[in-house]
Amino acid sequence: MTLTIGQTASNFELFNQHGEKVSLASFKGEKNVVVLFYPFAFSGICTGELCALRDDLSAFQNESVQLLAISCDSMFSQRAFANHEGYTFPLLSDFWPHGAVSKSYGVFDEERGRANRGTFVIDKAGIVRWQVINGGGDARNVADYKAAIAAL
């Protein structure tokens, strides 16, 4: 089932690239959250998308917004990816149970065992205010989520 605009976002608790638990609920009432699912660490389009966020991070992670990037890669792959590319935002591992959070957001690709490119902008109350879901080979437009964040 895919989440839709106006619904309460599914809560989750996943490990980041440093082995620390991060939950969506911990930001409720404090920050808007951009939840960004991506297929694989170190793949071409994913690296390009995350580097674009890294290079303009203050638009996506600041006093009112938190960026959470999620893939089904292991925590160890996430750490290597973050270190290699200089990502300072959380890369969360939806590795086990495999793709459970991706499934709850409706972006899991059962055939390939990975998340599709889904982005959800969630307000401080935990409500999905904007979303886009692209296939594996279709890059997202960063300007679109900037506009969605500005509209909050």
Q: Which pLDDT score is estimated for 2?
A: 73
Assess whether pLDDT exceeds 90 at residue 31: yes
Tens of pLDDT, residues 103-117: 999 999 999 999 999
* Single pTM value for the model: 0.95
Looking up tokens 């939806």 gives 94
Q: 1 falls in which pLDDT band (50, 70, 90)?
A: low
What is the average per-residue pLDDT within 88-115? Answer: 96
Q: 98 falls in which pLDDT band (50, 70, 90)?
A: very high
What domains does the chain contain, in order, with CATH numbers? 30-150 (3.40.30.10)
Structure tokens at 33: 């959250």
Element (H or E) spanning 75, and its range? helix 75-85
Taking the C-alpha atoms of residue 17 and residue 74, their distance in angstroms, rounded to an integer, is: 9
Question: What mean pLDDT value characterizes the chain?
Answer: 94
Q: Which pLDDT score is estimated for 71?
A: 97
Assess whether pLDDT exceeds 80 at residue 137: no
Listed ranges 1-15, 47-61, 78-92; the one with the highest mean pLDDT: 78-92
Give me the active site residues, please: 46
| Burial status of residue 2 (CB atoms within 10 A of its CB: 0-12, 13-18, 19 or more) | exposed
Q: 139 falls in which pLDDT band (50, 70, 90)?
A: confident
